[in-house]
Amino acid sequence: DDQADRQPAPRSVHGQQLLDELIGEYRPGPRPNRPPRPAELLISLDDLNPSEKASVKHLRTFVRQDLTVAAYDELAKNLEDAGQADNVKIMSKYKAANFIKRITKLQEECWDMCPNSCMAFVGNNSHLRRCTASRNGVPCRTRRYHANGKAKKTFTTIPILPRARAKWAAELGSTDFGERANKSGQELRDGDDGHIFQDFPDGAVMRELKETLGLFEGARDEAYMLSVDGAQMVERKESNGWIILLTCLNTNVKTRFRRNETFVASVIPGPKNPVDVDSFLRPIVQEFARAARGHWLWDGKERDWFLWKAYLVFAAADQPGSQKISHMTGASGYSGCRVCLMVACYKPGQVTGYFPLRTTGHNDHPPTNLDRQESYDPLALPLRDQQSYA
């Protein structure tokens, strides 16, 4: 059964060469012909012994309540005293974390990075032994390895595939997203005045993805949003870190952004802001490139295999983050708007522009801003399209 390999390969309007490079030789392969073995399935909390169950719940409380390691150890002693009748023993934090990774089948991947947080040594950078990025015009050139050959600094990514595999095997997946998108698409085609725009599958973008690009053909295909935001990891702003989140848009909009549903895909550690943020995002983007070809997952509810596909449909960030991930000049640049092609207006002697509807300086002596049109109509701004944005 080569059903998956017969399907057309994913296409990119602007980056087909990069997409092909990210997918590489990966193919979903034939559909599995037997149910997964018990060892391949998740272990239920009910299957654990009292000590294992208590350790899992204790670590969950530690994470949710943002406790210290000292508090973890102290409370563990109290739980052991309370559970003496069942001979309950709480694992150390390290052992409990590894135990949870083993029973949930979650994985983590470690990648080398510049000690100054400039770039990651992945993809086309994987062979480099020094950082090739420049910060404020100054080449970094920091060595990648210690004298013993060990990387000086690494960062971690957590793939989304094991989480999706666990969700569908545990009967927690849903087809509501696909059904809603089909219903909304029909209403948009019919010009239904009662159509309600409430969520991503309700809009014209989703309709274009389905009908023009041929995405989301499967009822269980999933859409993801990537969010990037900077954070101070320690007090007194001594270290700038960047948190990368993934949110599944197939989940209910009321619970989508709660802690249980938002997935920390990676943290780019400081001490400085990344220069080449694309290199840090590459492992995540590569996973979605291959997910566009599909992975065979077991649906515990339907008791059958299906070709799961996932797409990264958009990214969200504040102004500094948006500037980095979209490679745009930023709000103070000459063409600083990410939505339209209006250019900046400058006062004499200033390098930071602003964006009035009516241009100033044409009547000055000498005149300024001559490369800017006289005025802009707010109801007919020169909007960017796919070509001008890309």
- The β-bridge partners of 160 are none
Among left, alpha and beta (phi > 0; psi -120 to 50; other), residue 95 is alpha
Q: What is the pLDDT of residue 18?
A: 93
Contacts of 383 (CB under 8 A, 6+ apart): 339, 340, 341
Contacts of 111 (CB under 8 A, 6+ apart): 120, 121, 122, 154, 155, 156, 157, 283
Can you give the length of the chain in residues? Answer: 390
Task: Scan for tokens 């690494």, then name that residue.
Answer: 154
Angle, in degrees to the nearest 10, between helices 16-23 and 277-291: 70
Q: What is the pLDDT of residue 144?
A: 98
- What order of strands is seen across the sheet that includes strand 109-112? 109-112, 154-157, 262-268, 240-248, 222-232, 310-317
Print pLDDT tens along the chain (390 aa). 455 656 677 888 788 999 999 999 999 999 999 998 877 777 777 788 989 999 999 999 998 888 999 999 999 999 888 877 678 899 999 999 999 888 888 889 999 999 999 999 999 999 999 999 999 899 999 999 999 999 999 999 999 999 999 889 888 888 888 888 888 888 888 877 778 888 888 888 888 888 888 899 888 999 999 999 887 766 666 667 899 999 999 988 888 888 778 889 999 998 888 999 999 999 999 999 999 999 999 998 999 999 999 999 989 888 778 878 887 777 778 888 888 999 999 988 888 889 999 999 888 888 889 999 999 999 999 998 877 765
The predicted model scores a pTM of 0.84
Between CA 188 and CA 207 the distance in angstroms is 8
Q: What is the pLDDT of residue 5?
A: 59
- DSSP H helices in the chain: 3-6, 16-23, 50-64, 69-82, 93-104, 161-169, 176-190, 204-211, 277-291, 319-326, 386-389
Q: What is the pLDDT of residue 213?
A: 85
DSSP 153: -
Cβ contact 388:378 at 8 Å:
no
Q: Are strands 310-317 and 222-232 parallel, antiparallel or unpaired?
A: parallel
Q: What is the pLDDT of residue 28?
A: 92
Helix (H) or strand (E) holding 313: strand 310-317
Q: Which has the closest alpha carbon to 276: 112, 111, 119?
A: 119
Q: What is the pLDDT of residue 239?
A: 67
Between CA 37 and CA 320 the distance in angstroms is 47
